[in-house]
Amino acid sequence: MPKVRLRRALVALLALIAIYGIAAEIGRGRLPDRIWMGSHYVENVQLLPTFGALAEEGTFLLESRILAESIVASSRRVLIGVLLGSLIGILLGLGTGWAMRFEHLADPWVTLFRFTPALALLPLYVAWFGYGETSKVLLIATGVAVVALLGAHQGVRGVPRAYLDAAASLGAGKRLVFRRIVLPLALPAILASLRIAIALAWVTIVVAELIDAKMPSLGYLLALSGAYPRVPQMLIALATLAALVLVFDFAVLLLHARATRWMKRTAS
Tell me: does residue 226 bind another protein (CB under 8 A): yes
Q: Pick one of 123, 158, 251, 257: the residue that binds another protein (CB under 8 A).
A: 123
| Residue 11 vs 62, nearer CB to another protein | 11
Identify the bridge partners of residue 35 per DSSP, sorted by sequence position: 42
| Residue 29 vs 101, nearer CB to another protein | 101
**Which residue intervals of the chain are DSSP H helices?**
3-30, 51-63, 66-98, 100-115, 121-129, 133-157, 161-169, 174-177, 183-211, 218-227, 231-259
Q: Which of the 8 DSSP states describes residue 35?
A: E
Q: Helices 183-211 and 66-98: crossing angle, nearest 10°?
A: 140
| Residue 47 vs 88, nearer CB to another protein | 47
Cα 266 to Cα 86, 197, 262, 263: the distances in Å are 30, 27, 12, 9
Tell me: does residue 211 bind another protein (CB under 8 A): yes
In the complex, the smallest distance separating the C-beta of residue 37 from another protein, rounded to whole angstroms, is 9
Q: Pick one of 29, 30, 40, 264: the residue that binds another protein (CB under 8 A).
A: 264
Q: What angle do CA 97, 99, 101 make, to 5 degrees?
A: 120
Tell me: does residue 104 bind another protein (CB under 8 A): yes
Tell me: does residue 267 bind another protein (CB under 8 A): no
Q: Pick one of 80, 84, 88, 106: the residue that binds another protein (CB under 8 A).
A: 106
Residue pair 93/152 in contact (Cβ under 8 Å)? The answer is: yes
Q: How many CB atoms neighbour CB 139 within 10 A?
A: 26
In the complex, the smallest distance separating the C-beta of residue 242 from another protein, rounded to whole angstroms, is 4
In the complex, the smallest distance separating the C-beta of residue 13 from another protein, rounded to whole angstroms, is 6
In the complex, the smallest distance separating the C-beta of residue 3 from another protein, rounded to whole angstroms, is 11
Question: Could you tell me which of 100, 138, 103, 104 has the C-alpha nearest to residue 119?
Answer: 138
Q: Pick one of 26, 68, 215, 242: the residue that binds another protein (CB under 8 A).
A: 242
Q: Pick one of 86, 96, 142, 225: the residue that binds another protein (CB under 8 A).
A: 225
Distance in angstroms (rounded) separating the CA atoms of residues 86 and 146: 8
Tell me: does residue 228 bind another protein (CB under 8 A): no
DSSP string for residues in 86-99: HHHHHHHHHHHHH-
Distance in angstroms (rounded) separating the CA atoms of residues 135 and 140: 9
| Interacting span for another protein (CB under 8 A) from 8-16, 61-69, 74-82, 83-91 | 8-16
**Contact mark string toward another protein, 156..195, x via CB under 8 A:** ------xx-xxxxxxxxx--x---xx--xx----------
| Residue 63 vs 257, nearer CB to another protein | 257
Distance in angstroms (rounded) separating the CA atoms of residues 142 and 201: 9
In the complex, the smallest distance separating the C-beta of residue 29 from another protein, rounded to whole angstroms, is 17
